[in-house]
Structure 1
């Protein structure tokens, strides 16, 4: 498999839907798919005219499409912004009908829908957690994925070779442990089960379904809210938590998605739990700085093992 930091043109003629692409990993996935030549539909709830409940007005779906189109000049890809609430089945069906009408096919579906961090009561037991907030977390993290797949899969399975990528936080191995609180645990375990189940249900159509996780993602919110740093000085965040040294840019998992989508033998991963760090070993891509952080191995062997922060051999 060629080194996939340069995948321009390899997805020419492919159509992709990145559901939940306003910011973070979803934005990077849309950009990298477009860089590789795909026609990308990028969805989200925050536009230049309205802001979702996440409350980050400066990050819009229009900006995602513009960044993706700019990257697409390298490989012939194009991007379209679509304002969609993926909890509204009517809106999702309308989007899929539009893709069918405009493209006649869907080759890659990325379910990167989330937007629930602000509702999670970390450190609270089930009976202490606000019930309405907890149920909303599950709506955002589980129902949105089910609604989107229900509407999109008939188009995705229409021709062999379709790829469904469920995005979560954590590998199947790491999610065997409790990810407190209960609502977060359920939200992050569900995509793993969805990928496994849909791998079975779509296999006869030549479709591949996988679950993918980034490592410690340097999303916009992680940088400015949790660590009060920027991408340019992100290492200053290690003063707050030295294990932040293993973190990765959204581009890293974006490149993982592009590599999967361009792999003619991707079916070998059907039903599996994958990570950006693990796929970097398979495909040879790197993060923006040329490193290849293996965050989940690091977290298990260093941070969760109580060892001092040292990324030597992990990136």
Structure 2
């Protein structure tokens, strides 16, 4: 089943707003470039894939949920095929490939396909996750379910390592490549404990992986960095609060921090801006957040604002009073 007429119309409207909001979108600066977004079924990964498409990239979008098969996340409303179609509708070329990134042979086959098709890989985004259902915040490490904790590390850490190990040789072939580790939190903010042993490890590991690889990729002219969204209004998060993107503010009564939430578009535009920057090497080894990148490159979220989220959440995690969340929402 292809996109419905309503979805297609919505996508055309979204593409128009994207083109006017992303620097360089009209010129398609990523035309001829090839990206792999690992973990692009929904949320940040889907938005990243689409925004790379806005700038003209060919995007291999991977995930486990297809129109025939549902992953352990248990959601049937988003599929990897739909992500590929959205990338193409946005102006790029979307290639949807069902892949479980814990299966090394499947990842190697994916990279071999990209090599056969294009002979190059310019952008690698490690966004594999799907572990929200495993998070436990109530209990000490030895009181938490060990199987759930280890599965979280498999999904959020081992998948990233496998994908980088398989794909980096191709990324390094043409020079100027970009590796982005998507996580939750910045190196500075995550000095505070994330209130769950396994979740803390899972979300800090990509930051350190990007830092380590920044040293190993530098001599080849490639850039590695980590990137986090703020309080993300993903499909799952909206469902959790029982709201939609249109009435999301109704959830603020249940969770005051949600007032500073952001749509997936913001982190998608952040990745696209970084990928199109000829001077991206200045970010090598950096730990960035979406609002920070938006301020640097001059774009906004879909609503025309910039949620400057992590200065706010760093204070929250440090046990300080951050003040009114709305005061951190910039309106250019």
Query: Contact 1:298 / 1:311 at 8 angstroms: preserved in 2?
Result: no
Aligned pairs for 1:186-265 (under 5 A) are 186-225=201-240, 227-265=241-279
Query: Contact 1:302 / 1:309 at 8 angstroms: preserved in 2?
Result: no
Match of 1:118 in 2: 133
* Equivalent of residue 68 in structure 2, options 49, 56, 69: 49
Gaps of 5+ in 2: 1-19
Match of 2:14 in 1: none
Call closer, same or farther: CA 1:301–1:78 in 2, change over 3 Å: same
Compute the displacement of 1:170 (Å).
0.2
Query: How far apart are the structure 2 equivalents of 1:202 and 1:308?
Result: 40
Match of 1:31 in 2: 50
Query: How far apart are the structure 2 equivalents of 1:268 and 1:3?
Result: 23
Would you say 1:62 and 2:81 are equivalent positions? Answer: yes
Query: How far apart are the structure 2 equivalents of 1:118 and 1:25?
Result: 17
Gaps of 5+ in 1: none
Quick check: which one's helix share is greater? 2
Where 1:179 maps in the other structure, the secondary structure is coil
Would you say 1:135 and 2:150 are equivalent positions? Answer: yes
Query: How far apart are the structure 2 equivalents of 1:234 and 1:22?
Result: 21
Compute the displacement of 1:6 (Å).
5.1
Query: How far apart are the structure 2 equivalents of 1:17 and 1:120?
Result: 27
Compute the displacement of 1:301 (Å).
4.4
RMSD of equivalent CA atoms: 1.4
Query: Normalization by structure 1: what TM-score?
Result: 0.95
Aligned pairs for 1:158-169 (under 5 A) are 158-169=173-184
* Equivalent of residue 287 in structure 1, options 296, 301, 306: 301
Compute the displacement of 1:308 (Å).
4.9
Match of 1:274 in 2: 288
| Deviation digits for residues 140-193 of structure 1 (CA, Å, limit 9, x no counterpart) | 111000000000001000011000000000011111111121000000000011
Aligned pairs for 1:81-120 (under 5 A) are 81-120=96-135
Match of 1:4 in 2: 22
Query: Contact 1:109 / 1:156 at 8 angstroms: preserved in 2?
Result: yes
Match of 2:11 in 1: none
Compute the displacement of 1:7 (Å).
1.8
Q: May I ask how many residue pairs the two structures share in their alignment?
A: 309
Query: How far apart are the structure 2 equivalents of 1:292 and 1:95?
Result: 35
